[in-house]
Amino acid sequence: MSVWVDAHAPLDERKFDHDREEVLERASVSGVQAIVSAAVSLESCHATLKLAEHFPSVLAALGIHPQEVGDQLPNLDVLQAMLQSEKVVAVGEVGLDFYWDTTHKDNQREIFRFQIRLAEKKNLPLVIHSRSAHQEVMEILHTERVHVPVVWHCFAGDARELKEILKRGYFLSVGGITTFPKARRLRALLRNIPPERLLLETDSPYLSPQPRRGKRNEPAYLLHTAQCVAEERGTAVEEVRECSFNAFMEAFPGSRRFFA
Ligand SMILES: [Zn+2]
């Protein structure tokens, strides 16, 4: 048995406030039976947890996004307490982002390290957000001696970065970007990812795949990315579903009980 799983979509976003239930219904009709809703701040962790506890198909990844880190360090005891919930399957999204705002680099690093330790302590996988910070994210994961599964969300790197990520045994999650006409180089890399390490995501409401570009993204559109992956790899779309589902189970072991 396999179903489509959206490995990353911040469903607590305001853009879903008026029709979240319909969005989840459309996902279900399309065969997307589980969605990992990833939080970005403490406030968003609370909202995400609420959603996960309310909707059976929503699983939660709780963490502080690097661009949400400011002068003040958030109260991470609160985060730790929330990780107890049954529906939490990962710590994330966490990492470093030096693309827009680099004022709080040291705080970003500190919060990232703290959350890695939290994931290790709770034996939860880590969902990584990395932008303009590849080498340093890799370095921190190395020095922290991470043992839990690592999922590299929204992978959009080059061949060298991919090689490094695969060498470490991490999982890669690819989204709508891979379907963009200009993403030829990224698409070509899809063939180098072993099927047991490849996950699919939408990152809804952002980064809609090509046929829906310019519109709000939603988990049902995962199938456009899946179709693109299947074409690029020269396999049937059902095979992509099977493999990405199995990879998801390995990457997020805590989600297995929801598919029993
Ligand atoms: Zn991200």
Which residue ranges make up each domain of the chain?
A: 4-259
Domain 4-259, second-level architecture? Alpha-Beta Barrel (3.20)
> How many A from CA of 10 to the centre of ligand 1?
9
β-pairing verdict for 58-62 and 88-97: parallel
> How many A from CA of 93 to the centre of ligand 1?
6
Structural tokens at position 259: 């598919």
Under a CB-based contact definition with an 8 Å cutoff, are residues 229 and 36 in contact?
A: no
> How many A from CA of 91 to the centre of ligand 1?
13
User: Which residues have their alpha-adjacent CB atom under 5 A from ion ligand 1?
Assistant: 93, 129
> How many A from CA of 17 to the centre of ligand 1?
20
Alpha carbon distance 59, 131 (integer Å)? 24
> How many A from CA of 225 to the centre of ligand 1?
17
Count CB-CB contacts under 10 A for residue 153: 27
> How many A from CA of 175 to the centre of ligand 1?
11
φ/ψ (deg, to 5) at 132: 50, 35
- Produce one character per residue of 235-258: b if its CB has 16 or more CB atoms within 10 Å, e if not: eeeeebbbbbbebbeebbebbeee
> How many A from CA of 204 to the centre of ligand 1?
11
Per-residue pLDDT of the chain (260 residues; tens, 9 = 90+): 899 999 999 999 999 999 999 999 999 999 999 999 999 999 999 999 999 999 999 999 999 999 999 888 888 999 999 999 999 999 999 999 999 888 899 999 999 999 999 999 999 999 999 999 999 999 999 999 999 999 999 999 999 999 999 999 999 999 999 999 999 999 999 999 999 999 999 999 999 999 999 999 999 999 999 999 999 999 999 999 999 999 999 999 999 999 87
* Residue with the two structure tokens 């340093």: 136
> How many A from CA of 67 to the centre of ligand 1?
9
Under a CB-based contact definition with an 8 Å cutoff, are residues 58 and 37 in contact?
A: yes
